[in-house]
Structure 1
Amino acid sequence: MEFWDIYDENKQPTGRTMKRNDWHMKPDEFHLTVLGVIARPDGTFLITKRVMTKAWAPGWWEVSGGAAQAGESSWEA
């Protein structure tokens, strides 16, 4: 089971965690996500297309990324 740390608006850990996709955060709480942007010398970027079976935004184009697991820093994620 995957857990995420919950942060305040200043990216300070609150000491609370949540299960992945459990979405019981308060309006002033956040979880850490990261994106990996790959730029090519010709000025193009690597993007991916979400599979059609995703519950949110199926088939949309996106920059690859994801949530940091509990205890991970931005760099580690």
Structure 2
Amino acid sequence: MSDEQTPVSELGYEQARDELIEVVRILEAGGQDLDASLALWERGEELAARCTEHLDGARARIDAVLGDDDEGGTARG
């Protein structure tokens, strides 16, 4: 991981997910001092929240489309 990190709020889903995977890998490998481990943990929490934001947004879009279909008279069974 580089010292110059993109703000989490600017990451797309795939970028956040991939970086989160890397954070977990580094933490599981150990060997970091306490401060570095805490910084990684905090970044990981932010990344996980960002992934959730993207997934929630995607779910809302899907629900909106499905809701529009239902209102249009499309039967679901």
TM-score after normalising by structure 1: 0.21
Give the strand-richer structure, 1 or 2.
1
Give the helix-richer structure, 1 or 2.
2
Instruction: Point out which structure has higher relative CO (alpha carbons under 8 A, 6+ apart).
Output: 2
Which structure is larger by alpha-carbon Rg, 1 or 2? 2
